[in-house]
Amino acid sequence: MKRLVSAMLIMLLVVGLVAGCGTSQPQQQQNQPSDQQNQQSEGPKKIGLVISTLNNPFFVTLRDGAQKKADELGYQLIVLDSQNDSAKELSNVQDVLQQGISVLMINPVDSDAVANAVKLANDAKIPVITLDRSANGGEVVTHIASDNVAGGKMAGDFIVQKLNGKGKVVQLEGIPGASAARDRGQGFTDAIKGTQIELVASQPADFDRTKGMTVMENILQAQPQIDAVFAQNDEMALGALQAIESAGRQGIMIVGFDATDDAVKAVNDGKMAATVAQQPEQIGSLGVENADKVIKGQQVPKYTPVDLKLITK
């Protein structure tokens, strides 16, 4: 009887030990997830890109350059289109700040109006990078753009040379308040200053092809002699080209800015004289490169210039 009781006690002890060992390992796995599981739940870091408009080939290329670099560096890029509306731009920034971004890249609609959006990001402790157009307010860690003053002067110098320093010219301006419009206009004005070239009209067409055509139609009716047109972007230049061709006017030289595919084709076909080439893909790519440095706590320059060149036939 004593032997039977001892044997039963031993069996109960063994069963208890086995049961304990069987449940302890799964409980440890459940309470302590692996590093890989943690990494999957966190996902890649996010970078926001609020862009002035995707109804313009230049900014589509800028976005594509940013996306390519973001994919390369392992970031999730969240892109929102402001549709050339400063109120929508502010709403877009509010939206993207709620999505857990680490850096905000913004291509402003208007350099003054964007200050409110930049300050929202500042208040949220999110670093801001401006692309192509600057912000006249708020704190920006770096601005990445072409030298628009130099580009406007490049276009103006070309026109002065081709007209031998005299003639009547028209300027189609971009969105009033945009730094690119202001700077390109300044460079162009500096180039023709001191020559016999007369600026007979200078009107905004908001960087838009349809508006460029409409504004140019009105100028053609008011100005019997026009020797050249400088448009502050290619979309307006192509709109001006449509208006000039429809009016049957001959001998008007057109110079644009951005070197979009349509404009370069027009130059090669002899319909436009030149376009100033920016590198929007590089602007977008450099934006993400600098965002990556900011996220890693590295220093970035306050201004990163992107080279320009003149495209002619």
Query: How many Cβ atoms sit within 10 Å of the Cβ of residue 175?
Result: 25
3-state SS assignment for residue 164: coil
Segment (H or E) for 77: strand 76-81
Q: What is the pLDDT at residue 31?
A: 39
Q: What is the pLDDT at residue 108?
A: 96
Q: What is the pLDDT at residue 5?
A: 45
Query: Please, where in the chain does CATH 3.40.50.2300 lie?
Result: 44-146+281-305, 148-277
Q: What is the pLDDT at residue 278?
A: 87
Low-confidence residues in the chain, pLDDT < 50: 1-2, 4-5, 12-41
CATH number for the 44-146+281-305 domain, one of 3.50.50.60, 3.40.50.2300, 3.40.630.30, 3.30.1360.70?
3.40.50.2300
Interval 63-82: pLDDT, tens: 999 999 999 999 999 999 99
Would you identify the CATH topology of the domain 148-277?
Answer: Rossmann fold (3.40.50)
| pTM (predicted TM-score) | 0.72
Q: What is the pLDDT at residue 42?
A: 64
Interval 120-171: pLDDT, tens: 999 999 999 999 999 999 999 999 999 999 999 999 999 999 999 999 999 9
H helical segments located in the chain: 2-31, 35-42, 57-73, 86-97, 114-123, 148-162, 179-192, 209-222, 234-247, 261-268, 280-295
Instruction: Give the whole-angstrom CA distance, residue 279 versus residue 61.
Output: 9
The HSE-up count of residue 182 (CA atoms within 13 Å, CB side) is 12
CB 313 within 8 A of CB 264: no
